[in-house]
Structure 1
Amino acid sequence: MLSLLDLRARIATGRLTPAGAVGLVREAIAAREPEVGALVCVDPAPHVAPDGPLAGIAVGVKDIIDTADLPTAMGSAIYAGWRPRADAPVVARLRRLGAVPLAKTTTTPFAFMDPTATRNPRNPGHTPGGSSAGSAAAVAAGMLPLALGTQTGGSVIRPAAFCGVVGVKPSFRLLPTVGVKCFSWALDTVGLFAAGVADAAHALALMTDRPGLDLPATDPGAPRIGIVTQDFCAAPAPEALAALARAAAAAERAGATLRDLALPAPFGEAFACHPTIQDFEAHHALAWEYAHHREALPPHLRAALERAQGIETPAYDAARRVAHHARRGLKDVFGESGVDVILTVSAPGPAPAGLASTGDSRFNRLWTLMGVPCVTLPVDVTAAGLPLGVQVIARFGDDGRALAAARLIERALA
């Protein structure tokens, strides 16, 4: 994989120019894209800034995020060839930092569940996940050092885990969602993919102008980790539990203290409310497409929007109250348990076979609903070469602690 920090170090020492770094990416795309199919389009003549903290870093942008220089088709024929007049703020920020938004990456249509044709670079017979399929696969294939995705259920953490890369879903609204096609305004979160935790932390620190998110060179101290398995939903596969145990053991070797942590009943109730909030808001966010292009919508999305017509406003309001209660309660869980971060599986197991499904988001939805930062990192691979990941979760706004704990585990595993 291409490391953002390695490319920047080579540029800083004069061993590589920003244009040369983009050239390396182009070579990698030419070599891997035909088999992976992670990209919608590539800018044939991008402007490469000569300086800036991310000069020379080519970025993949999920195709529901507006770009002025490239089409934004949202994975749908309805918007084929659509060219926004302006970049989304998150893309504009990357340009100001010197980065090159080089390619649009594939997304499931409108970032829902109908799969793309993108293949998992680790095993092409398996899904890369969704909805940020192209972003995860492009980084995993070594075609891009940084890519943007979005998460409404599990669309950053799960594909990152399936493809064996680092994925970060920051605290809700840490990265702006203006200029991103809305599916659920209470849940949609912009996230990113990178080769390693330090790469992702550096990018997020620059993108948010929060230097404290960048990982220190010195050991930040041993975290107190709570192990969670979500006993209110179906259990993960044995391989996923084994990866969780391996990550926990590595953290303990590195000095972390561990304890098992059971989530109180309100979190199971909140977990069950996620679909009501998501689908009710999607019904409104995609009202124009449903009214005017219903037959052009893919089957899973069309069926979901049809079901959502039956969600009454009182049910939606009740679900929001349950979620709010759980968010407030999560502060108490951290405080009363004495843990700094939570460690859990990133997905129920390895990437499922075939391209008909993007996988199950049941180990992501609650944390998206809570709005808290999540970082997934690869831990192991199955006999079939499929990655297995774990995710680190911290309090709302404590993104730096989640990144630091993930880096500690990553180093211990190495």
Structure 2
Amino acid sequence: MAKALHTLCASEAQECILRGDFTVEAYAQALLDRVAARDSEVHAWATLDPIHVLEQARRLDRIPKGQRGPLHGFVIGVKDVINTKDFPTKHNSPLHQDDPTLMDATSVAILRANGALIMGKTRTTEYAVVAVTPGTKNPHDPSRSPGGSSSGSAAAVADYQVPIGLGTQTIGSIMRPSSFNGVYGFKPTWNSISSEGQKVTSPTLDTFGFMTREPRDLRKLSDVFGLKDDDEAPRRGEMIIPGQKFAILRPPMWKNAGPGTVAAMERAGQILRDAGAMVDEITLPSDFDNVLELQTDVLRHEIQVVFHRESTCARDTMSRELVAAAAGIQGGTLRRTFLRSFDALAALRGQMDGIASGYAAIIAPSSVDVAPVTDTWTGDPQFNGMWTGLHTPAINVPGFAGQGDMPVGVTLVSGRYRDEHLLQVAASVGPLFTHLAILNLVA
């Protein structure tokens, strides 16, 4: 039986389009039909114009076959802190509800130039900072958090409303919602993809990334952004798992892990051992014990600088939480503390690269547990922040389930600028994990 069009991943849909099985317009219409049927419950979209979506699709269909880009027909939802020239960028803030956006962010421009179709803007928390959900529901259970701040992108991908969502991460805004919604989430090495044209909360932490249902979509996306490792030959296909060495990492905050995460980590290790891999169980040196404190010091200083304009000129449009963060009321960082923490965090990055170099990948928790029952909170990011602060690539791999059969993922980590290698690892271990334990929505 043929799969419904809206359930196809971007790569599957592209293969069908290039064969002539259906058009980009037909694929886009199927996704719009899914949105019409489901988004009144999920609330994933901040802005979506079906007429404009279909106009883009028809333009792509008119491109001669020999001139089509490598992402021809890829349909993408864009987090609403990333600029798009044809949709407003509202930041979930009353200050920006009517602001025109004149240019695409660099990331969006690159995607369009390679043949992607921008479907619309997905919901975010206020400026991708505040921990209050933007009204988006977890499609697996609407009573539970979708995570954040990339709430809409994760929920839309999980609910088959779009195959790819763009996200940004300052602490855990890609990895945590990916875990809660049961999708792949890829945070590349810091600054390997330009952040020009997106709202930045922390210049030394913020990272652009992707959410998908299939790892092969991640690989095609990474190719157009030039995420190539420079120490090894280009990789295609999957890695051979037997004989590979992995590490199960219990980070400094492991005592806070819930039963779903504990079980997912144990199961991931056992699946790899059964597949013929060597699996070490490791902890990090004591130097890493305060890594989250260091990152928090850096963030608290940088957020005051970044939001100085808003807090000076438009304070009445900001939530109390954001006003407090921008003013340092929630524990602003003294400059001397910022410098100490900034330098200490930088020193840990090379040390982490060395630890990671001994393994095909390190496997770490993606979230404290399954999504909490709440309609206001995006969840605890404590298991994500260290990878953002250490600038390493990280990929949430779905496939496990905890309380209430809710999704929970694990994170693959490698050293900085080993993104291509980590994507190959995900292409190999992902099917193992998801084949044995995946929890997909009924499409």
- TM-score tier, shorter chain, comes to over 0.9
Of 9, 14, 17, the match for 1:8: 14
In the other structure, the counterpart of 2:322 is 301
**Which one-letter code corresponds to 2:101 in the other structure?**
P
Of 384, 406, 412, the match for 2:426: 406
Mapped partners of 1:247, 1:37: distance in 2 = 32
**Which one-letter code corresponds to 2:202 in the other structure?**
S
Displacement of 1:221 = 4.8
In the other structure, the counterpart of 2:375 is 355
Of 189, 201, 205, the match for 2:219: 201
After TM superposition, the structure 1 = structure 2 runs for residues 7-406 of structure 1, keeping only pairs within 5 Å, are 7-43=13-49, 44-46=51-53, 47-48=56-57, 49-50=60-61, 51-112=68-129, 113-208=131-226, 210=228, 216-222=236-242, 223-232=244-253, 234-306=255-327, 307=329, 310-335=332-357, 338-406=358-426
Contact residue 250 and residue 409 of structure 1 kept, 8 A = no
Contact residue 346 and residue 376 of structure 1 kept, 8 A = yes
* Aligned-partner SS, 1:384: helix
Displacement of 1:308 = 5.8
Displacement of 1:230 = 0.9
Deviations 1:254-296 (A, max 9, x none): 2321101110112122221111111211111011111122232
TM-score by length of 2: 0.89
* Aligned-partner SS, 2:160: coil
Deviations 1:117-142 (A, max 9, x none): 00000100001000000000000000
Mapped partners of 1:283, 1:213: distance in 2 = 43
Mapped partners of 1:401, 1:256: distance in 2 = 17
Mapped partners of 2:331, 2:309: distance in 1 = 14
* Aligned-partner SS, 2:289: helix
Q: Which runs of 5+ in 2 are unaligned?
A: 1-6, 62-67, 436-443
Mapped partners of 1:32, 1:213: distance in 2 = 44
Number of equivalent positions = 412
Deviations 1:329-372 (A, max 9, x none): 1133234xx22311011000000101121001111101000111
Mapped partners of 2:101, 2:331: distance in 1 = 30
**Percent of residue pairs bearing the same amino acid type:** 29
Mapped partners of 2:331, 2:262: distance in 1 = 38
* Aligned-partner SS, 1:392: strand
Contact residue 294 and residue 302 of structure 1 kept, 8 A = yes
Provide closer, same or farther for how the CA distance between residues 243 and 213 of structure 1 changes in structure 2, counting only shifts above 3 A. farther
Displacement of 1:398 = 0.5
Q: Which runs of 5+ in 1 are unaligned?
A: none
Worse-superposed segment, 9-18 or 391-400: 9-18
**Which one-letter code corresponds to 2:120 in the other structure?**
A
Displacement of 1:383 = 4.7
Mapped partners of 1:6, 1:254: distance in 2 = 27
Over the aligned positions, Cα root-mean-square deviation in angstroms equals 1.9
Deviations 1:207-239 (A, max 9, x none): 337499996235445431111111346420011
TM-score by length of 1: 0.95
**Which one-letter code corresponds to 2:171 in the other structure?**
G
**Which one-letter code corresponds to 2:166 in the other structure?**
L
Worse-superposed segment, 398-407 or 313-322: 398-407
Provide closer, same or farther for how the CA distance between residues 53 and 13 of structure 1 changes in structure 2, counting only shifts above 3 A. same
Contact residue 241 and residue 428 of structure 2 kept, 8 A = no
Mapped partners of 1:317, 1:196: distance in 2 = 40
